[in-house]
Amino acid sequence: MLITFARSILLYIIILIVMRLMGKREISQLQPFELVIAILIADLSAVPMSDTGIPIQNGIVPILGLLFMHLIISVLNMKSLKMRAIICGKPSIVIYRGKIKEEELRKERLTINELEERLRGLNIFNLGDVEYAILETSGQLTVIPKPNKRNTIPEDFNIEPEYEGISYDLVIDGIVMEKNLKELGKDYNWLKKEVRKI
């Protein structure tokens, strides 16, 4: 029982390290090769985690092999446009200048109903409001509404808003973030004075 517990912790740590080395991406934005690797890692870790008769390296070595493959594919993906097209595919324009491209929908095995469902998920309830819709390689739908249906921005009214920059956390869980204070050109004494004003 204790051995299974220790093996589970070890495999968890290794998988966590491997997933961190694979990069930051939302699950919904995984490319097909990344999804395959994630599924295989889960499968490879399950058996040695529960069956103490199987040497733990039988799970660790293939997981490291998958990480190695992922790193190679990622480098190829970054360096070569042709390899990127083969590995990840290309985005498909499913609505072009307000017209549905039925050929692209068929090619992507996407029905009109599924397209409408995805549009509703983006708060677009009328196909006539869409100028372009692009099915990304991750499977997400990107939409450019028609000009008269787009949200207004200050530029539309010739307004130049003041620059706001980015906000910095200065205290988290009672700990002063010294690095963030330095980024702002401030120090601990300034922070104390600001807190007293509240």
Which of 29, 134, 142, 145 has the alpha carbon at shortest distance from 92? Answer: 134
Distance CA 123, CA 135 (A): 16
Write out the two tokens for 17.
Answer: 């390290």
Q: Look up residue 172 and give its DSSP letter.
A: E
Mind listing the pLDDT tens digit for each residue in 141-172? Answer: 999 999 888 888 888 888 888 888 888 899 89
Distance CA 87, CA 102 (A): 25
Write out the two tokens for 101.
Answer: 């491209």
Residues near 54 by Cβ (< 8 Å), separated by ≥ 6?
47, 48
Q: Is 81 helix (H, G, I), strand (E, B) or coil?
A: helix
Query: What confidence tier does 27 reach under pLDDT thresholds 50, 70, 90?
Result: low
Mind listing the pLDDT tens digit for each residue in 81-99? Answer: 888 888 778 899 999 999 9
Rounded to two decimals, the pTM is 0.62
| Residue labelled with tokens 């490879």 | 44
pLDDT(8) > 80: no
Options 3.40.190.10, 3.40.50.970, 3.30.240.20, 3.40.50.720; CATH for 90-186 is 3.30.240.20
Domain spans, the chain = 2-87, 90-186
What pLDDT is recorded for position 145? Answer: 95
Query: What confidence tier does 28 reach under pLDDT thresholds 50, 70, 90?
Result: low
Mind listing the pLDDT tens digit for each residue in 30-57? Answer: 677 777 778 888 888 887 777 778 888 8
